[in-house]
Amino acid sequence: MPKNDALGALMAHARETTALEQVAGRLGWDQETVMPRGAAGQRGEELAAIEGVLHARRTDPRLADWLAAAEPPDDAGRAQVAKIRRSHDRARRVPARLAQEIARVTSLSQGLWAEARAQDDVAAFLPTLAEVVRLKREEGEALAGGGCPYDALLDEYEPGMTGAEAAAMFDSLRPRLVALRGRILGATRRPAALSGSFGTEAQLRLSRELATVFGYDFSRGRIDIAVHPFSSGSGNDVRITTRVAESDPFNCFYSTIHEVGHAAYEQNVDPGYLLTPIGGGVSMGVHESQSRIYENQLGRSQAFTGWLLARMREGFGEFGIATPEAFFAAVNRVQPGFIRTEADEVHYNLHIMLRFDLERALIRGELEVGDLDAAWNARFLADFGVAVDRPRHGMLQDVHWSVGLFGYFPTYALGNLYAGCLHSALRADLPDLDARMAAGDVSAATGWLREKVQRHGGLYAPREVIGRACGFEPAAGPLLDYLEAKFGAIYGL
């Protein structure tokens, strides 16, 4: 076959596969936002069917011929072909039966997890979780071909990263984080927390305004409510969800800003890559770097919280926090808590380390599901100095394992590390950023990220896109420097 025909056939095939991946993703969005509860069983079959279709396409034997013959003319073409090759190689290792079984089981187990969490009933969830772990171990082993099954799963979310590299990253973060945490908990300053009740409608209005401020394009997206906020879709249909608790408006606002970070990455990829293998975010770590920098380095900055305080006063009246400094401290209050998604920037990565060690042990067969609850609780007590009081505050808190996302958690920490690097670099490029953010204008920063990171989609490898954007090799230092400076100031260390 002529080389250009091979490339054309490859790209046409990939385009349809990408479109079908969008369809499958939207079924997930539907399930979490609008699906009638009685549809769960049927939905499992639907997801399994589309997963079967995707698996068949990714293992299509014609791909091998096209891949052998295709000669892409440029970097983008080479990146496309590399993505297709990777997807083909991985899919061929996983039997179709296993891929469909995982889709079916995880679709159902998500509902069972939600119910078990609501009931604080670990025992009710264990049989399902054991089934999921068994299937994901099997998948990891099939993918690894004799190598480490956990590495093979992690590679799905963070191409090129191994468990050993993740462990090294945590080693580079842990000592200074633990020391900072100790100094903060020993400090005499204790910032006041927000208190009072904040109406749902006003929260959602301000949440939409925040989405707009951070560049979310509503004409190509929408915001709904979900138990566990997420972003879904790529290109011209990128939807986010948020949640509302009347006692805690920061949860709503920062969930929204966080998901807008993810969504902006998908919305801002070069339109020429639409519905192609490089038309979305390149890895979960880079994805999380965008959500984290939007949420934390920008959204929780002293400059931006000053603007947010004024908007909250307009929306809710006075609420007992007198100064911008006190508000900034309340937004960034450090406190050991059970829940990862509510964790402050200092504790967050400690939550991830716990999950990383446990899930890696689960997949490698060094920990059994029946021992997970005890292992979680022991580790939590050791790291956080507090005993888990109920399973929904412990091993039942996260959706991830129920839907088979093993190897996903480390990408959150990697995203934090990358966000630290990007923040250091963009601050150097944008000396007047604080003055703009104090006026509610974050567009210089989001524009920098769009130009340096987001528009490239999957053109470069994950570490490469971050390194190119920053002008230096990604490392833990910038994040740790930022955290020590920010929380040192807040806590007077």
Binding to its own copies by residue 326, rule CB under 8 A?
A: no
Question: Is the distance from CB of 284 to CB of 375 less than 8 angstroms?
Answer: no
Binding to its own copies by residue 181, rule CB under 8 A?
A: no
Q: Which stretch binds its own copies (CB under 8 A): 129-137, 212-220, 349-357, 460-468?
A: 212-220
Binding to its own copies by residue 38, rule CB under 8 A?
A: yes
Say whether 147 sits in a helix, a strand or coil: coil
Q: Which stretch binds its own copies (CB under 8 A): 31-39, 203-211, 392-400, 450-458?
A: 31-39
Q: Give the residue, chosen from 48, 76, 169, 483, that forms a contact with its own copies under the rule CB under 8 A.
A: 48
Sign of the Cα torsion 232, 280, 105, 342 reads negative
Binding to its own copies by residue 111, rule CB under 8 A?
A: no
Binding to its own copies by residue 49, rule CB under 8 A?
A: yes
- Residue ranges in 275-304 that form contacts with its own copies under rule CB under 8 A: 275
Binding to its own copies by residue 13, rule CB under 8 A?
A: no
Q: Give the residue, chosen from 20, 69, 326, 444, that forms a contact with its own copies under the rule CB under 8 A.
A: 20
Best CA proximity match to 294, nearest among 185, 150, 200, 416 = 416
Phi, psi of 391 (to 5 degrees): -55, -30
CB of 27 to its own copies, least distance (A): 6
Active-site residue, 259 included? yes
The two three-digit tokens of residue 139, written as one number: 């998948």
Question: Cα(397)–Cα(47) distance, rounded to whole angstroms?
Answer: 24
Helix axes 149-157 and 122-144, enclosed angle (nearest 10): 90
Question: Is the distance from CB of 477 to CB of 423 less than 8 angstroms?
Answer: no
Question: Is the distance from CB of 487 to CB of 329 less than 8 angstroms?
Answer: no
Residue 31 or 283 having the CB closest to its own copies = 31
Residue 17 or 411 having the CB closest to its own copies = 17
- Residue 191 is given by DSSP the state P
- Residue ranges in 220-249 that form contacts with its own copies under rule CB under 8 A: 220-222, 235-237, 239
Residue 154 or 238 having the CB closest to its own copies = 238
Binding to its own copies by residue 266, rule CB under 8 A?
A: no
Residue 56 or 428 having the CB closest to its own copies = 56
Residue written as token pair 């034997």: 61
Binding to its own copies by residue 489, rule CB under 8 A?
A: no
Binding to its own copies by residue 382, rule CB under 8 A?
A: no
Binding to its own copies by residue 208, rule CB under 8 A?
A: no
Residue 100 or 411 having the CB closest to its own copies = 100
Q: Which H or E element spans position 239? A: strand 239-242
CB of 77 to its own copies, least distance (A): 20
Question: Is the distance from CB of 348 to CB of 296 less than 8 angstroms?
Answer: no
Question: Cα(459)–Cα(151) distance, rounded to whole angstroms?
Answer: 23
Q: Give the residue, chosen from 138, 165, 209, 217, that forms a contact with its own copies under the rule CB under 8 A.
A: 217
Beta-carbon contacts of residue 481 (< 8 Å; ≥ 6 apart): 420, 424
CB of 231 to its own copies, least distance (A): 14
- Residue 247 is given by DSSP the state T
The two three-digit tokens of residue 389, written as one number: 């009081």
Phi, psi of 268 (to 5 degrees): -100, 5
Q: Which H or E element spans position 224? A: strand 223-225
CB of 75 to its own copies, least distance (A): 24
**Number of residues forming the site for its own copies (CB under 8 A):** 38
Q: Which stretch binds its own copies (CB under 8 A): 48-56, 161-169, 328-336, 422-430?
A: 48-56
Q: How far is CA 143 from CA 85, 156, 231, in A?
A: 14, 10, 27
Contacts with its own copies by CB under 8 A lie at 15-17, 19-20, 22-23, 26-27, 30, 34-39, 41-43, 45-46, 48-50, 52-53, 217-222, 235-237, 239, 274-275
Catalytic residues: 259
